[in-house]
Amino acid sequence: MTVASTDILTCEAMSIGHGEKVIMDNLTFGLAPGKILAVVGPSGCGKSTLMRALGGLDEPLAGTTTLLGVNLVTASRQERAAILRRTGFLFQGSALFSSLTLLENVEMPMQEFLQAPKREIRQLAEYKLALVGLADAMDKLPSEISGGMAKRAGIARAIALDPEVIFLDEPNAGLDPVSSGRLDELILRIRESFGTTVVLVSHEVPSILRIADFCVYLDPEIGTMGAYAPPKTFLQAGNHAKAHAFFTQARLD
């Protein structure tokens, strides 16, 4: 696996984990701008931890990672903050503020980072919510909406500041197939309209096959990535047995 100088996101010989504990070792891959990468693997293998490291929220335990041309390991606090401003996150479980309406949730990052009048921020937030199909639910609280709507509201917040890269942790989890399909279309539409690069964690094979250009399979048994390839590759037997099993739900024994 090699990394290209034009990649918008890279990691080389990267170890991730918590405290002293290494969860995944020797991760090396890159992603070109405007591509969609799916991170897959069994529960607890480190997908969310990898996403946080790639997004610059947590430091890797070893190796390097770059995002938007900046080495996140050696970056200063200011450089890191500037990169954060150009990225968006949907955390596992959406993580909307429960006491704020959807509109207020999307306005939050805008109020923090944009020097714009309140009215303008409101219009921008309304636009983002309309984009994700929530024009009629802007004044609702997170407790008053469905899981699928919460995911879409989370995505509206993630794209509030027109990020160049978005990180989505299990955007399809818990959604019925129709809502999941709609969310896939939304992600593709965002990429098409804004050229956004997307890193997403997913267990949903149909969704990954539909939208991802590449897929990194984390294998907890060997403690590193088992494969990095376009997802369709994993449908064929022979290349990567565990990734193939994951994609075809086949048993290995």
Ligand X SMILES: Nc1ncnc2c1ncn2[C@@H]1O[C@H](COP(=O)(O)OP(=O)(O)OP(=O)(O)O)[C@@H](O)[C@H]1O
Binding residues vs Mg ion (CB under 5 A):
47-48, 92
Q: Is 109 near ligand X (CB under 6 A)?
A: no
The 48-77 contact track toward ligand X, x by CB under 6 A, reads xx----------------------------
CA distance 18 to 23: 8
Which residue among 30, 47, 124, 240 contacts ligand X (CB under 6 A)? 47
> CA distances (Å), 98 to each of 101, 176, 252, in order?
8, 23, 43
> CA distances (Å), 109 to each of 8, 68, 124, in order?
23, 20, 11
CA distance 11 to 92: 22
Stretch that binds ligand X, among 38-46, 75-83, 109-117, 205-213 (CB under 6 A): 38-46
The encoded tokens of residue 191 equal 């990429």
Parallel/antiparallel/unpaired status of strands 165-169 and 197-201: parallel
The 115-144 contact track toward ligand X, x by CB under 6 A, reads ------------------------------
Stretch that binds ligand X, among 7-15, 45-53, 109-117, 130-138 (CB under 6 A): 45-53
Q: Is 10 near ligand X (CB under 6 A)?
A: no
Which residue among 8, 9, 11, 23 contacts ligand X (CB under 6 A)? 23
CA distance 100 to 97: 6
Q: Is 5 near ligand X (CB under 6 A)?
A: no
